Structure 1
Amino acid sequence: MTRTAVISGGGTGIGYAIAERLAAGGDDVILTGRREAVLAQAAEKLGDRASFVTADLTEVEGAERVAKHVADRSATVDVIVANAGGNIGVQAPERKPEGLAGVSWLWSENLRLNVMTAVHLVEGLKPLLADHGRILLFSSLAAYRGSGSGSYAASKAALHPYAIDLSVELGPKGITANVIAPGYIQDTEFFGEGISPQRRARNIDLTHTKHAGTPADIAALAHWLAAPEAGNVTAQIIQSNGGAVVGR
């Protein structure tokens, strides 16, 4: 049976890799994000199984637009991949005001980027979510060890209890809710204009495997968690970081 998956941040990086893996397995994928041209190009590469809807998921109206697209196209959704997010302090540092206003802005923006994008997407699609569906949220190793400013790490850590609550609520319908917490993943837009060779080497040196993760690594994990066979795995925060932060 063909399933429908909605992937936020699906135009590039981890989101696109997950969409590609799900589409290759026979699922229809709906990409969403803020950049229409990027989404259109990604959907074209994925072929007939892909469509897209432009939406800013930091806003309620963005989630409503996605829900309408899903309802019009497939009526239900089987897999929700709430991958959209970022660290505004890294990706747009020039926007940060000075002083206390800057601290408040940084926290507010990172909570909007990482928490509200997930909450709006999941809650907006919840009425359309089929029994035995799958919800995947995306955290970070920063949720375990901090991120320098605190705001990015805290925003990612906030998704952990949210997944648990979703699992409790939706588990009787066979729906699972899990969190993937990646470490350093190369070939993504997360680091804005780029990461220095020195920082890249430092991130890799922290791992046990001594190599960077890739979007394909996360896509493989997401593909399994989204599969029917993973129905007994729920309310888990699953790390993929080469051992840079060990499990507890």
Structure 2
Amino acid sequence: MGERLAVVSGGGTGIGAAVARVLATDGFDVFVVGRRADVLTDTAERISWDIGRPRAVRPVVADLTDPEQVSEVVEAVGDRAVDAVVNNAGGYLGGDTGGLAGIAAHWRANLDANVLTAVLLTEALRSALRRPGGRVVLVSSIAAQRGGAGPYSAAKAALHGWAYDLAAQLGPDQITVNVVSPGYVADTEFFGDRMTPEGHAKRVAATLVGRAGVPDDIAEAVRYLIGPAAGYVTGQVLGVNGGSVLGR
């Protein structure tokens, strides 16, 4: 086993898998957490094989909206110190918005998937975070800054406010807390079959660099925030969006 340990939620595909790969390449042991055992296992085995380090990445199956299942992650960590927690689980959840009951269910589902998952995982591992030097990264979205996605936008914006509180609480222990806010990233499961060629072209045109993001763009930002060069960076929102939303 390596000396450093990272836990990445939503680690089976897309951005989470890219983050797991760069951290494992940097020598971390990585637990990838999610609900789909087959996807997690395939990703963990593929990355470990590719970097030539058996079991560098290991799967932990848990629905992080369920407090009882979060204990699976705690059990996997055991008595090890956790150097980094990357909260990437979430996504836009559609649903019936007819009537107040439908609206309430729609909002709760998005808040649970994007906010509660991060809160429960981080709180469960809070005492295990390395002191000094631990890192917490929350993966937000450009939607938190410009809107356009209803409850998903609101949920991602909630992560920003919570990150500021958490950074203040953990700062005295030399633990940093930051947010990475991606713009449009292709090659993920986020849009499912909802993305059209026209939608893709519109999002690319909104950038200043004339291309869609890829998961590695976000993973490299996370790598920076987790690395030693970012020890004086905390309570910040790092936009990685090709210039489609300028700094605020």
The TM-score with structure 2 as length reference comes to 0.94
2:82 maps to a residue whose letter is: V
Q: Deviations over 1:77-134 (max 9, x none)?
A: 1100000001101xxx4xx263222211111100000000000110011011111100
- Tell me how large the CA RMSD over aligned residues is: 1.2
Matching residue's letter, 1:53: V
In structure 2, what residue type is equivalent to 1:69? A
- Aligned partners of 1:193, 1:44: CA distance in 2, in Å? 27
Match of 2:57 in 1: 50
What runs of 5+ residues in structure 2 fail to find an aligned partner? 49-53
Distance 1:105 1:147 in 2: 19
Equivalent AA in structure 2 for residue 144 of structure 1:
Q
The alignment status of 1:25 with 2:26, answered yes or no, reads yes
Aligned to 1:212: 212
Which letter does structure 1 place at the counterpart of 2:17? Y
Residue 69, structure 1, aligned to residue 76, structure 2: yes
Alignment equivalent of 2:86, drawn from 81, 87, 91: 81
Cα distance per residue 1:149-207 (max 9 Å; x no partner) = x2110000000111111111111111000000000000000002241000000111111
> Counterparts of 2:207 and 2:44 in 1: how far apart (Å)?
34
Distance 1:143 1:232, change over 3 A: same
Q: 1-side partners of 2:121 and 2:221: how far apart?
A: 21
Shift of 1:46: 1.7
Structure 2 distance, partners of 1:143, 1:97, is 21
SS at match of 2:134: strand
CA apart distance, 1:62: 2.1
After the TM superposition, which residues 115-126 of structure 1 pair with which residues of structure 2 at under 5 Å, given as runs? 115-126=115-126
Rounded Cα–Cα distance in structure 1 between residues aligned with 2:76 and 2:136: 18
Could you tell me which runs of 5 or more consecutive residues in structure 1 were left unpaired when the two chains were aligned.
none
Separation in structure 2 between the aligned mates of residue 147 and residue 55 of structure 1, nearest angstrom: 30
1:77 corresponds to which letter in structure 2?
A: V
Partner in structure 1 of residue 51 of structure 2: none
Aligned match of 1:6:
7
Task: Write the deviation string for residues 209-237 of structure 1: whole angstroms up to 9, x where unpaired.
Answer: 11000000001110010002210000001
Q: CA deviation at 1:145?
A: 1.1
Q: Partner letter of residue 62 of structure 1?
A: Q
Q: What SS does the aligned partner of 1:234 have?
A: coil
Distance 1:144 1:26 in 2: 34
Q: Report the 3-state secondary structure (helix = DSSP H, G, I; strand = E; otherwise coil) of the residue aligned with 2:69.
A: helix
Q: How many residues align?
A: 240
In 1, Cα distance between the equivalents of 2:203 and 2:193? Answer: 17
Q: For residue 176 of structure 1, what is the aligned residue in structure 2?
A: 176
Alignment-derived partner of residue 66 in structure 2: 59
What is the one-letter code of the residue matched to 1:204? V
Structure 1 runs (4+) greater than 3 angstroms displaced: none
Partners of 2:82 and 2:69 in 1: CA distance:
17
C-alpha distance in structure 2 between counterparts of 1:82 and 1:29, whole Å: 13
State which drifts further: 178-187 or 162-171. Answer: 162-171
Q: Distance in 2 between matches of 1:62 and 1:182?
A: 28
- Residue 88 of structure 1 aligns to a residue whose secondary structure is coil
1:121-160 maps to which residues of 2 (within 5 A)?
121-131=121-131, 132-148=133-149, 150-160=150-160
Q: Which has the higher mean CA deviation after the structures are superposed, 164-173 or 108-117? A: 164-173
Partner SS for 2:130 = strand
Q: Could you tell me which amino acid in structure 1 is paired with residue 135 of structure 2? A: R
Distance 1:162 1:2 in 2: 29
